[in-house]
Structure 1
Amino acid sequence: MQAARGTSLSSLSTPGSTSGSAVGLFTIVAVVALAVDQVTKVLAVRFLEGEPSVELIPGLLQLTFLRNAGAALGTGSSMTIVLTVLAIAVTIGVLRVATRLRDRGWAVGLGLLLSGAAGNLADRLFREPAPLRGRVVDFIDYGPFVGNVADIALTLAAGIIIWRTFRGVGVDGSREKS
């Protein structure tokens, strides 16, 4: 049965085809990932700061506390204000794009992007040494670098956004014609 003449019933019942469900998924992903990031940072400050590294998987994964003024791998440590402004711009941009969400993949990707940017932005705004110059709490030591849950969210977001882009799916659920 069709909802209206010429309208496919399947297009109406496809999960993620409505703005509300995609925006809701985006919101849930963003809030949960941001909460996990902030809680783990509080725990890292409480239990890891000033302590020796804790080895979880020998030679692969440990918990090592540090405060990072820069970006990935400590690069740009003299550009903390620029990184803060960039995080603010990303946060605003993602929120603006989210109003057009109709695709669940994009909803998850942008939710993770928002949580990662906002998680590290919160550190830059509210942690020492000063607002806009705060150092990000990193504690997950993978060997070549030390990161946090926000960094994991940003990495996953990049993968999902690349995947949806290569598949030709727009944030509004439209597909490029091949």
Structure 2
Amino acid sequence: MFATIVFVAILFAVDQILKIYFSTNYGLNETETVFAGFLNIGYIRNYGVAFGMFSGMKWTIVLIGLVMSILISTVLVKSKQVYIRVALGLVLAGATGNLFDRLSVGYVIDYLQMPILPVVGSTIFNISDVYIIVGCAIILFFEVRNKPNSKNDMPVQF
């Protein structure tokens, strides 16, 4: 369990260091192309959640974030499966990173943009968001892989 706490703490620290770097070294709404068509960096303030949805609902978002962090922590502590611990550790670090922003400065600091991505290419996000997506993808991958096939009750093989 100690290793999981350290893992989450390190991820949280990396997230906060990156947010401090971008918010102090870039002007608000300033972006810079790193790899044309693939990666831009900059600094924006996100007062909502994904794609800026629910802007102006800070305390509702904070409450949901707190409840989800508590639930994730509870499952994380009880889990014996390594992939669940890693995945939920990523999700928890991402959720608490963005929650910390909302409580400390009133918005989430975003700084990454990948124009190459379909649908979300114009969206600016942060490493906390990446943690959450990767953690959810890990859970989905293992759950689908381990789910019995309805035809013969054998696990799906990849």
Q: Distance in 2 between matches of 1:40 and 1:52?
A: 16
What does residue 107 of structure 2 align with?
135
Q: Deviations over 1:67-112 (max 9, x none)?
A: 0001111111132221111110111111111221211111110100
Q: Distance in 2 between matches of 1:28 and 1:177?
A: 37
SS at match of 1:76: coil
SS at match of 1:137: strand
Identical aligned pairs, as a percentage? 26
Q: Offset at 1:168? A: 3.8
* TM-score (normalised: structure 1): 0.74
- The letter for the 2-side match of 1:140 is L
Does residue 85 in structure 1 map to residue 57 in structure 2?
no
Q: Deviations over 1:156-175 (max 9, x none)?
A: 01101112322348xxxxxx
Provide structure 1 residue ranges, at least 5 long, that are not aligned to the other structure. Answer: 1-22, 128-133, 170-175
* TM-score (normalised: structure 2): 0.83
Provide structure 2 residue ranges, at least 5 long, that are not aligned to the other structure. Answer: 116-121, 148-152
Q: Which of 34, 47, 72 is matched with 1:94 structurally?
A: 72
Q: Distance in 2 between matches of 1:40 and 1:159?
A: 23
SS at match of 2:112: strand
CA contact (8 A) 2:28 2:44 kept: no
CA gap of 1:177–1:102, structure 2 versus 1, over 3 A, is: farther
Q: Deviations over 1:3-46 (max 9, x none)?
A: xxxxxxxxxxxxxxxxxxxx344323311211110000010111
- The letter for the 1-side match of 2:95 is A
What does residue 26 of structure 2 align with?
48
CA contact (8 A) 2:32 2:41 kept: yes
RMSD: 2.0
Does residue 109 in structure 1 map to residue 109 in structure 2?
no
Q: Which of 65, 68, 81 is matched with 2:43 structurally?
A: 65
CA gap of 1:56–1:100, structure 2 versus 1, over 3 A, is: same
State the structure with more CA Rg: 1
* Count of aligned pairs: 144
